[in-house]
Homo-oligomer: A and B are copies of this chain.
């Protein structure tokens, strides 16, 4: 069965590029054996060529593109890590890029052009036919990560008074149709969008019926300046396959398709996960130095908060000297608070990202988290208190750590939900900064509650 999925077998059992296929291609590249490359690479799917490029060495990638020339499928470049694409494109002469761009759908062409510096961009655009140049310039004029940047400017649009028969005849004859499409758009003479028709509706309707009778009014036209994440949420909510993109005068300028939206969804989910883990936009292909540099800022911020927490401990150095068991137990109080808080924070960050946490349910969710914090606080206070009391043969120490646990688990729950919500309210990305603030709170409160209670109890004030 597996054979059906990738009959050419460029992948091994684990889904990565097969080692023997890889060395076969590497040999062909080394020997300049264009014939083998044409036979074994050009029929692959763009994403397979993308995986192949990622598996090759940087030098080999550039040679492969050069050797294959015009037969290379440049859409493959939309499937590789940004740094790899930039590396390949920068090694290509502008003329070759211009030729490549002409093979591509406009959304893929923009993907490649947007990385280049303005001078190269202009030189390449100048070599393109007029219509294409105008379309690409328009896409590039919209800010990054907007619907206008991601849209495809090739689409089929017909007037509402055409019949189904006329529309089918037009599609049979027209030369400049997009490579593939799932719906056609209905526009008025000024290019203003009036509706959409799914292809299956056209196919099941008699030829004499007018398009306006079977079109649906467009409820989900996407403004070109809309953020791609917001556009993706509309696709998800309304199960769209494609959606019209309109300019500020509601004129149809392009179409956003589900395959681009799937990329956006994956990318945004990945961003949240990476940010919660304290890593930025890094890619697996980044160098040691680039990776190291991109991770230092996060560690630096954490270092500052770590010293802050340490300074709380140092307030109580006299207490620790007297009762050294406190030093042994204090990381447990802080750590368990951190774990409980990050459970709450993870749920909150995800709920904010998917839009399922809003004003209408905020107070209920906050109350729930406080309830969970108190219940789990009491459970773990009892548990930790007992173990610590037995370990150090001191009911007092058990009691102190139990009280500190309840305080810290309650604080952790509150901080875990309020920090991301406040960050979101003030327009910051909750995934980026929540974890630092949360750890600071649970460390500081954990150390302070535990050591403070002990100092007071043992009369060491």
Task: Name A residues whose Cβ lies closer than 8 Å to a Cβ of B.
Answer: 1, 4-7, 12, 14-17, 19, 22, 45, 47-48, 54-55, 168, 171-172, 174, 177, 180-182, 198-200, 202-206, 218-221, 223, 226, 233-239, 241, 258-259, 261-262, 265-266, 269-270, 272-274, 276-279, 282, 284, 286-289, 291-292, 295-296, 298-299, 302-303, 306-307, 309-311, 313-314, 317, 320-321, 324-325, 327-332, 334-336, 339-340, 342-343, 345-347, 350-351, 354-361, 365, 368, 371-372, 375-376, 379-380, 383-384, 387, 439, 443
Contact = CB atoms under 8 A, between A and B. Distances in A.
A276 B346 contact: yes
B219 A4 contact: yes
Contact of A284 (B45, B171, B345, B357): B357
A384 B303 CA distance: 8
22 contacts: A4-B220, A4-B221, A7-B219, A14-B358, A19-B360, A168-B203, A172-B205, A177-B200, A182-B182, A241-B259, A269-B269, A270-B354, A272-B273, A274-B350, A276-B276, A276-B346, A288-B372, A299-B343, A299-B376, A306-B336, A309-B332, A320-B320
A383 B1 contact: no
A295 B177 contact: no
B328 A313 contact: yes
A311 B350 CA distance: 35
B171 A204 contact: yes
Number of copies: 2
A221 B6 CA distance: 10
* The 6 nearest A-B residue pairs measured at CB: A277-B346, A16-B358, A269-B269, A288-B371, A327-B327, A199-B199
A150 B394 CA distance: 58
A431 B220 CA distance: 36
A7, A218, A272, A295 pick with most chain B CB within 10 angstroms: A295
A310 to B, nearest CB: 5
Contact of A359 (B14, B282, B334, B387): B14
Given A219-B4, A375-B292, A279 B347 contact: yes
A233 B5 CA distance: 11
Given A291-B368, A298-B339, A310-B328, 4 more contacts: A55-B361, A284-B351, A286-B368, A292-B372
